[in-house]
């Protein structure tokens, strides 16, 4: 489904990614692990269209999308859960989730997906009118994942979903990731907790 070929990315003169190549097959959970500063987040930013590669190719179902805008990649159903959650903290939980479906106009299906998110994360249903910035760290992570799911992604890119969470919450988040995958969403996972990531992944790359 997703193929990266000889990808090079620079930040100014700093050569962050040096010719990496990975593939993600439909229905898989693939994890990308490595030390801080190795380029894991940069890889996801390139896949999402947020960072333009210096050279190399990104293919989606065989189509070269290297020069496609980030907005259009969301339309192609590539969605990212960013490191640090990046929720809209002054908006309500419901408004955050609705923003995840910003590029969609199928209201009936959006309503179904909202119920699906609430089924995954019942606490979000309970707190849908609450200001998102007042949620706990674990609840904000659930909201960030739920927001991404509202775009109905075929590929969900997760950047450090367990960061800063208590062990019990980490297990809950990983259980939910497995359930999302079982429902048909392909997942590319970046995670510092290598043992947890390797436990649920079909394949792994070390960078």
Extents of the domains making up the chain? 28-51+71-206
Looking at residue 200, its pLDDT comes to: 95
Tokens describing residue 205: 């790359």
What is the model's pLDDT at position 157?
Answer: 95
Question: Quick one: CATH architecture of 28-51+71-206?
Answer: 3-Layer(aba) Sandwich (3.40)
pTM metric for this prediction: 0.89
Contact by Cβ (8 Å): 1, 61: yes
pLDDT 10s digits, 27-36: 999 999 988 8
Phi then psi for residue 110, to 5 deg, are: -60, -45
Neighbours of 96 (CB within 10 A): 23
| pLDDT for the residue 197 | 93
Percent of the chain with pLDDT over 70: 100
């Amino acid at each position: 489904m997703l193929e990266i070929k000889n990808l090079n990315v620079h930040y100014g003169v700093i050569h962050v990614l040096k010719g990496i190549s990975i593939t993600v097959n439909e229905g898989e959970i693939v994890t990308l692990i490595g030390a801080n500063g190795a380029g894991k987040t940069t890889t996801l930013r390139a896949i999402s269209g947020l960072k333009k590669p210096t050279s190399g190719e990104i293919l989606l179902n065989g189509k070269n999308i290297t020069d496609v805008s980030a907005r259009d990649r969301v339309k192609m159903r590539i969605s990212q859960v960013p490191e640090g959650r990046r929720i809209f903290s002054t908006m309500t939980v419901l408004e955050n989730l609705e923003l995840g479906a910003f590029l969609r106009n199928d209201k009936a299906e959006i309503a179904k997906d909202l119920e699906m998110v609430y089924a995954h994360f019942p606490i979000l249903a309970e707190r849908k009118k609450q200001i998102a910035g007042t949620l706990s760290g674990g609840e904000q992570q659930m909201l960030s994942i739920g927001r991404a799911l509202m775009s109905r992604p075929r590929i969900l890119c997760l950047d450090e979903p367990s960061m800063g969470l208590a062990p019990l919450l980490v297990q809950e988040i990983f259980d939910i990731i497995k359930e999302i995958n079982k429902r048909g969403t392909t997942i590319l996972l970046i995670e510092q907790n290598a043992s947890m990531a390797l436990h649920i992944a079909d394949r792994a790359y070390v960078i």
